[in-house]
Each structure stands twice: as structure tokens, then as C-alpha cells.
Structure 1
Amino acid sequence: MELIFLSIALAMDSVAISMANGARCMNIKALQIFKMSFLFGIFQAFMPVIGYFLGLAFVGFISYIDHYVAFAILLFLGIKMIKESRQISVHCSLNLSLRMLMLGAFATSLDALAVGITFSFEEINIASRLL
């Protein structure tokens, strides 16, 4: 049951981005909708697996510096958010190119990558979780 809730929670950022893109641009073509759905789904499915194997490969190294890495990432994101909040954006356009869709899919699945890494640290069998 907890795995179902985790899966739903991990998918919410992809759902939010897709809904925002759909609300912002009402004339999205069916092919664009398919590409967005496909890429977001593929990234959400495979990022935990990638994270699991990355975690297995670097568990000895990361365990010594994990708190510094987390601090650096959160510091970077905080400074970036403060900087962006102070900028005035007049022009907003929706770019649904393959490159931007892949970037969005990657960004929204980073939490799934982190879950995969966490699974490797806790020595959870990823094969049983995928089924």
C-alpha cells in the first residue's frame, strides 16, 4: 500500500506540469500530448531504477558526504528561487520542443531518482518493487 502512495506522490509533479501546459496553451496537438505523456511516463518509470544502481555504485562514497551534497543542492535551489522571484517576467511563451519536453521530464523525475537511491541505501530489492 505504501508503494502505491509513493508512486502517486512521485507522479504528481509530472501531472502538475502537464496540466499547467494544457491550461496555458489550449491548442496543443494530439502528437504533442502523446510526446509529453510518453516522455514523462518513461522518465518516471526508469529514474528510480537508474537511481538504485547509481546508489549501489556510490554508496561507500556518498555516505561520507551526503549531508554536504544535500546542503549544496538546497542552497543552490534557494538562491535560484530568490533570484528568480526578484526578476520581472513580461514575456511568457510555451515551448514544447522535444528538448524542452525531455528537460521537463528529467526535472520532474529527479525525486524518483532520489527514491531509487534511497532504495539502494536501504538494501531494498528493486525488482520486487517494480512488479
Structure 2
Amino acid sequence: MGLWELFVLAVGLSMDAFSVAVCKGLSVCQIRKKQILTVGLYFGFFQGFMPLVGYLLGTGFQEKIQSIDHWIAFILLSLIGINMIRESGGEAENLDACFTFKAMLPLAVATSIDALAVGVTFAFLKVQIIPAVSFIGITTFVISCAGVLIGNRFGAKYKSKAEIAGGIVLILMGVKILLEHTILA
């Protein structure tokens, strides 16, 4: 696998993380560097880590995870989206609350489950795994940081409506993933 193919793959894998990062940026009035880095590190780490796990576990696990990965992503994204819509009218008591481990972990896992199957594919293609997952992680980190900034710039003017829209986007992303793996498969 060449550098160009790996770059296209890394950008494709990071699009779910980018969408959620935009939603995270929408959720706060004034973004801080710590929050941007938190989102980038969570998403970048998991997008790089999951292909490594898939690579190490091999094909036996691929069939099991592919049968339920879409349900996991759908449930996590829907719950987070519903919660985001529910909290859209209130003022944030603690700006760091939505950037805590408890909030970020499910998002990072939900947006990176598809990368697990990519890791299994890497094993078949005999891809040099450490450079590949590092490249994917760094690409996702940069794209996610940009997503938070973009969401925050937009959300500062339209916070309540933007949070509702962000919640709807998360739910629709979960539905899209579910439909792609059930009806459209």
C-alpha cells in the first residue's frame, strides 16, 4: 500500500471523527486549546489503535465484529446525540464536562470501530502496521482538531440550534452506519 492510498484511507476513516469533532466544537462557547487537543488525541489515538487491534486479532475476529459493529456505533452515536439535543437549551455548568473521559471514550470508540476491520485487511495485505497506524492516527488528530475549531466558530453564533443540529447529525450518522450494514449490505 502506497503513501497516497494510505492517505486517502486515513482521511476516509477520519470523517466520522471529524463530524463528531465539529459537534464537540458546537457544544462550547469559547474553546480552549486543551479541549481541542483532547478531542484530537482521543480520536487520533483510537483511529490509530483500532487498526492495530484488528491487525493483531486477524480474520477470526473480523467476522464477529463485522456482525455487530454497526449496532454498537448506532447505539453509542444515538445516545450521545439524544443527550446533546436534551441539553441544548441549558447553559453549560462546566465547559470541561463534555470533554471528560466518560464523554470522549464512547465517541472515540464509536467513530473508530470501522478502523478495526481495516486492520484485519492490513494483515492480509502485509502492510507495515506501525507506520500505517501512526499515519492514520496523526491524520485523524489533525482533522479532528480542525473539526473542533470549525464547529466552534459556527456554534458561537448559533449555540442552542447548533447543539440540536449536532445531536441530529450524530443520530443520523448512527442510522447511516446501521443502514449501510443491514439494509444496503
| TM-score for both structures, normalised by structure 1 | 0.68
The letter of the residue matching 1:125 is V
User: Any residues of structure 2 matched to 1:63-102 within 5 Å, and which?
Assistant: 66=63, 70-74=66-70, 76=71, 91-92=86-87, 95-102=98-105
Q: Does 1:109 align with 2:104?
A: no
Runs of 5+ in structure 1 lacking a partner? none
Corresponding residue for residue 126 of structure 1: 128
Query: What amino acid sits opposite 2:36 in the alignment?
Result: I
The answer (yes or no) to whether the contact 2:69–2:114 under 8 Å persists in 1 is no
> Structure 2 vs 1, CA of residues 24 and 5 (structure 1 numbering), >3 Å: closer, same or farther?
same
Q: In 2 relative to 1, CA 6–71 (structure 1 residues): closer, same or farther, beyond 3 Å?
A: same
Q: Is 1:22 aligned to residue 25 of structure 2?
A: yes
Instruction: Map Cα deviations across residues 47-95 of structure 1 (whole Å, 9 max, x no partner).
Output: 211110011xxx3x458xx3x7644555x46x959x98xx8x9623573
Supply the AA of the counterpart residue of 1:119: F
Describe the shift of the 1:37–1:124 C-alpha distance in structure 2 as closer, same or farther (beyond 3 A): same
Does the residue aligned with 1:125 lie in a helix, a strand or coil? coil
3-state secondary structure, aligned to 1:25: coil
Runs of 5+ unmatched residues, structure 2: 89-96, 136-185
TM-score w.r.t. the length of structure 2 is 0.51
Question: How many residues of Structure 1 are paired with residues of Structure 2 in the alignment?
Answer: 118
Structure 1 consecutive aligned stretches of length 4 or more whose deviation exceeds 6 Å: none
Question: Contact 1:51/1:114 (CA < 8 Å) preserved in 2?
Answer: yes
28, 40, 44: which one pairs with 1:37?
Answer: 40
Q: CA deviation at 1:99?
A: 2.0
- Give the conservation status (yes or no) of the 8 Å contact 2:50–2:116: yes
| Maintained 8 Å contact 1:50/1:116 | yes
Which has the greater radius of gyration? 1
Match of 1:10 among 8, 13, 31: 13
1:30 Cα deviation from its structure 2 partner: 2.3
CA RMSD for the aligned pairs? Answer: 3.3
Identity of aligned residues (%): 29
Query: Is the Cα contact below 8 Å between 1:52 and 1:126 reproduced in 2?
Result: no
